[in-house]
Structure 1
């Protein structure tokens, strides 16, 4: 029962739930109206069911799927409504009228049309599906891929087809209304509605047929795969980022895209699920999605020397079997979680960690990873985080030559269980924010909650809303405080700039046409590098303008995707958070930070269990220790944890010089040389076995293919 309640809570908004309830209540209403009989009541109930159904489909509500699971699917709902309309006509003594039998024939034929319609939609979708889907791969000049069928025909096709019964339903209801108390029946609207429904249904089916002709379909799998392999031999990728995962794990590959764009070796991304490609961030790196394992194993990757894996999943075996490249686990974060010492990591040639902490973690876990196979490369993704300059912030707040120190409060969400250590929101959140907004000398609070906050636990959602109210009240009080002075003209100018930049970003959208299918997006899916770089510049300008668009002393709630978490790091002098990757990333800034021990483990045990808090101010649920954090912000020279933070940063992330990207590039280059050396050895062995004294074959690519498929 509890799991069911959780699932219902996650299906969507309250409006969606209300629409679903109204729709399901509408069907008993239809039956009652048909039995009474009452044409007006039936029409009202029918309108409710139609409109609620349409609303849920337009919202893409998960409730639609749940209704199908309880045998109340879309086709069933339409059929029940039509049968109840037949019952209404019979109860109104129209069963002797020809229009009654025409209605029965209409709905019978109409539902008969659903089968060829559904079959055609399925065939078109299947035959236009590519064996591989690409981005930033030039297929347009190599393959003749025709345009997709009109989106009008394929988008929500089943919903559109079933709604064609509306003409017949309305026409027959007009007949029912005309019979109510008059003794005469107006049948013409019924016949017109029936003709429109059947005519449009037949036309819809016929309109789909031409799109199954050969010239309307992409080339067959063999030709597509051959073309992609030819492109690979021309592009000659040196490093592959390989990823497989569920639809909610796309962030794990997205976090590496900027690193790949900046690396020296020619990169390629290989994905295994189409849904990941759909959720992938825009990138200039070539991407190939290969859902089929056989297709992947037959793809020419003989020129690749290094394969990078950011998740331990079963499908990794399809690339791990290739001996001509070296395989590396790079993960999707560096933390004290058990996933960071997975014994599966033994299958890779090397495991790359951010710093010494990762190496020690494997040694302590004793899961079979050899120390010589671990390489410390830092975290290239943290490059946007600016390091602290150690200059104290003017504490006077509002002065023309200073501003309030900014303290970021970035709690994590409540998680899937009720452990008190998951989030500080429930027990400490209000205490933290109240102490910060009341601090003297004053500080500014920026509150950036986790996007999942309140999703599972209603109490966390309520605490979140109370914190927002507390911050807004404090902001209003500060705006009226004469100690703080704003510059309305400068802020108005910044807001106008935000609007202008947003419009330019929207016009520069790098997203692919929603009306195109995967064949067309593979053909046309080459990111304009100029637009890609311009979008990055505009986003940076937008972020800079955002922080100028309100006074530097104003408390702020930052919700949504923008500004990003790292931008909030850079705008803050210190942070309060919970045990999560947020803390590990903030350490790159070198700034003071506090972590809440909501489970009340005690300072020593809390630090023992969590490496990332060893240089933090540890807060109890009362948040009384916040003064230590604020003192460190106001007087960096007297900060007792400054040295500890510096040492912890190097321990977790490695040294500042050379940069993490340089270390990453060096590790790739070194491993590529090892792969080349091993391939020479493999070539010599193969040559001795195949060519005898004559040596190995001349065609290196053919040799590599032979070894790969051995």
Structure 2
């Protein structure tokens, strides 16, 4: 782009009409092509204020310079062209200002999903072309730029006047069209009207328990893992969010979803029937909802591990801390962070129901499927948080060197988000796995075109997320049936889980489109998800290595495909123990194996791997031959220690904890003088 601008400058100064025309046209075409098919390189330009408007202005100035020297046009024509361009830019900036006004007016104080919004005057958002300057400016500037270049090439002034006039009409028409969204007929409901509507909904729905979540991009999985357990509770439940983008990042659910960005509106919950809020994560905005005295708060965490973050001192601010089993209770007692043991309630992990139990070793003639699922580097500098940087390459290299091993590599989605070195190490590991799979597939005789098309399909099947990452797999070309089935199942699942309507829809339009889910929608999504999982794994080469990122396949599905897990000290260990399969934990803490086991109870039944992975042969031997598996009994004991008893089921214990805490909230309301929202308002 810079070279083309320089070429334009040279063509205008020489002057050289062919050079100016070719460079000017190519620069505009490049800008449009990048915006359409590869917008990532344009992001840094926008950050340094060289956005689409500045780039187009530079192109137009250089064309005008050439027009003055190369075309024999009158002064009046040049003034008309300049005036037309100035008017076009004025209309463009007017549209940008109108877009800000429209966006502000359409920003509601409450954002919802799965709630009937027919009582509000909601309307569709303007087309993206009206509100997105990055799309509008280079596209509408095409007639003007092309017209001036034709004048440079032919000397005919009519081309410039016609082209600039067309651009002016486009820009002015865009501004006029967008202005109609400010007319009374399209005016959205005001804040007071929306709040009154929300209050009426609260009074009619009468929720008793809610899932409260606040977090940034990439953290939605922490709330998603609890949606099923919340939906299975008795009584009316809801989800309370604080960040607007999180409404669409939340997984499909029939639960009413409410986003309350401002504290003043969050406090409306104080005068509702809501008795208990369940918190899967700590966040700065959590302290705001803790001010509500009529609601009891329980912390469930999004996973349990031996990391220090699993016994955060912040947990003492909650009324109760709900943990999976005795291990977490003991962890809080040993940490001495102020959490009273009487406030710790063991509820198990109800979301682990999809994890299949151990069904014996892999077939003698089949591969050993190893799932390597390292955690991320974390917010702290605690040593040994993640093995990706210190041991990942040695470990992956050793696994890929064993011809019996089929490797599934599933990194934590936040890897590299704090320390870029971990992100670079993750990319190296992905490259190792992809190269090994390419070599294996070549030996198996898979043609290159089949591999390329297969990878494209698998990337699409990973799900609609911001950064899909790589997903590598191969299969013999004669398995076209399984490939078509995966494509069909992916399309069906995408159809059921579509959350945003058309591209360019804003929160108001999505509220209108997602006002009430069809009855049985959750069951349909669950069935489609199960069918997708079956189709996905059926479409894979049973010996092929995989790099798995994105929201699909989920971690529990990977558990069921694996024969052994390799991971770090994280909640992955406790969840995997629901299967009672062999597992290994990588020790990058600097402690010796004995000290490492003593410091981390989840490692008691694990094979401890040093950074050089020298213990791998013994681990794989124990997976193939159960007689060499000396840790099977220890895994059963540790499973009960970490996750609690299998009877009664975890969902039953979870329900009992909710019921008991709701009773405590009701008793407090009774002592305060009223048990009803109406009485509280009085």
TM-score (norm 1): 0.83
C-alpha contact 1:244 1:316 (8 A) present in aligned 2: yes
Q: String of CA shifts for 1:576-634, please: whole Å, max 9, x gaps.
A: 23344333322222110112234653212332343322211112344332233223323
Cα deviation code 1:225-265 (max 9, x no counterpart): 11111111111111011122222322222222122222224
What residue number does 1:164 align with? 140
CA distance in structure 2 between the aligned counterparts of 1:429 and 1:341, rounded to whole angstroms: 27
Q: What is the rounded CA distance, in whole Å, between the counterparts of 2:426 and 2:137 in structure 1? A: 43
Structure 1, unpaired ranges of 5+: 1-22, 179-184, 398-402, 481-486, 685-698
Q: Counterpart of 1:99?
A: 77
- Matches of 1:578 and 1:47, distance apart in 2: 54
Equivalent-residue separation in structure 2 for 1:150 and 1:541 (angstroms)? 36
Question: What is residue 145 of structure 1 aligned with on the other side?
Answer: 122
Deviation at 1:683, TM superposition (A): 0.9
* Aligned match for 1:173, one of 132, 141, 149: 149
Deviations 1:321-360 (A, max 9, x none): 2211111122222123333232222221111122222222
* Equivalent position to 2:188, from 197, 202, 218: 218
How do 1:187-202 residues align onto structure 2 when only pairs under 5 Å count? 187-202=157-172
Distance 2:575 2:15 in 1: 67
- What displacement does 1:393 show? 3.8
| CA distance in 2: counterparts of 1:211 and 1:538, whole angstroms | 39
**Alignment check: 8 A CA contact 1:425 1:464 kept:** no
How far apart are residue 269 of structure 1 and its match? 0.7
**Among 291, 300, 308, which residue is 1:330 paired with?**
300
Q: Which residue of 2 aligns with 1:283?
A: 253
| 1:520 pairs with 2:513 | no
SS of residue paired to 1:595:
strand
TM-score by length of 2: 0.86
Q: Are residues 30 and 674 of structure 1, via their aligned partners in 2, closer, same or farther at CA, if it must alter by over 3 Å? A: same
**Cα shift at 1:212:** 1.0
Q: Deviations over 1:144-179 (max 9, x none)?
A: 32343345433x24531453222111111111112x
The answer as to 2:585 corresponding to 1:615 is no
Give the deviation of 1:186 after TM superposition.
Answer: 1.1
SS at match of 1:256: helix
Q: For residues 490-529 of structure 1, what are the alpha-carbon distances to aligned partners after superposition, in whole Å with 9 as ceiling and x for unaligned?
A: 9555444334323433444432312433222212312224
What is the aligned counterpart of 1:306 among 248, 262, 276? 276
Partner of 2:434: 468
- Whose radius of gyration is greater, 1 or 2? 1
Pairing 1:86-485 to 2, within 5 Å after superposition: 86-92=64-70, 94=72, 96-140=74-118, 142-154=119-131, 156-157=132-133, 159-161=135-137, 163-178=139-154, 185-299=155-269, 301-389=271-359, 391-395=360-364, 397=365, 403-412=366-375, 421=384, 424=387, 429=392, 432=395, 436=399, 442=404, 444-450=406-412, 456-457=420-421, 458=424, 460-474=426-440
Deviations 1:433-475 (A, max 9, x none): 56556658x4544444555778944455334323332344346
**How many residues are treated as equivalent by the alignment?**
647
| Cα distance, 1:625–1:262 mapped onto 2, change above 3 Å | same
Q: Is the 8 A contact 2:218 2:414 kept in 1?
A: no
Which residue number in structure 1 is paired with residue 490 of structure 2?
502
Question: Hey, what does 2:63 align to over in structure 1?
Answer: 85
Structure 1 residues 319, 59: closer, same or farther in 2, change over 3 A? farther
Residue pair 2:305, 2:569 contacting (<8 A) in 1 also: no
1:546 paired residue number: 536
CA distance in 2, matches of 1:550, 1:247: 30
- The secondary structure found in structure 2 opposite 1:314 is coil
Q: Which residue of 1 aligns with 2:668?
A: 678
Q: Deviations over 1:412-438 (max 9, x none)?
A: 567799999465556655654565566
Aligned to 1:647: 637
Q: Does 1:555 align with 2:521?
A: no
Residues 419 and 557 (structure 1), Cα distance of their counterparts in 2 relative to 1, 3 Å cut: farther
Shift of 1:293: 1.5
Shift of 1:266: 1.8
Q: How far is 1:570 from its partner?
A: 0.6
CA distance in 2, matches of 1:65, 1:425: 29
Change in CA separation of 1:290 and 1:25 when aligned onto 2, cut-off 3 Å: farther
Measured in 1, the distance between the counterparts of 2:308 and 2:386 equals 19
Tell me what 2:679 maps to: 703
> Matched residue of 1:657: which SS?
coil
Do the aligned partners of 1:354 and 1:376 also contact (CA within 8 Å) in 2?
yes
Equivalence for 1:606: 596
Moved more, 450-459 or 312-321: 450-459
SS at match of 1:298: helix
Preserved CA contact (<8 Å) 1:437 1:474: no
Contact 2:305 2:573 in 1 (8 A): no
Q: Is the 8 A contact 1:147 1:216 kept in 2?
A: no
Question: Residues 419, 26 of structure 1: CA spacing in aligned structure 2 closer, same or farther, 3 A cutoff?
Answer: farther
**1:650-676: CA deviation from partner (whole Å, max 9, x where unpaired):** 222222222222111111100000111
CA positional deviation for 1:377: 1.5
In 2, Cα distance between equivalents of 1:86 and 1:170: 12
Deviation larger for 371-380 or 110-119: 110-119
Gap change, CA 1:415 and 1:30, over 3 Å in 2: farther
Asked whether the equivalents of residues 341 and 362 of structure 1 are also in contact (C-alpha less than 8 Å), the reply is: yes
Superposed CA RMSD: 3.1
Deviation of residue 189 (structure 1)? 0.7
Deviates more, 1:523-532 or 1:315-324: 523-532
SS, match of residue 345 in structure 2: strand
Is the contact between residue 414 and residue 460 of structure 1 (CA under 8 Å) also seen in structure 2?
A: no
Aligned partners of 2:298 and 2:321 also within 8 Å:
yes
Structure 2 distance, partners of 1:26, 1:51, is: 11
When residues 148 and 546 of structure 1 are mapped into structure 2, their CA distance, relative to the original with a 3 A threshold, is: closer
The answer for the alignment partner of 1:664 in structure 2 is 654
Greater Cα shift, 641-650 or 487-496: 487-496
Give 3-state SS (helix, strand or coil) of 1:339's partner: helix
CA distance in 2, matches of 1:226, 1:122: 26
Question: Structure 2: how far apart are the matches of 1:257 and 1:326?
Answer: 19
Aligned to 2:451: none
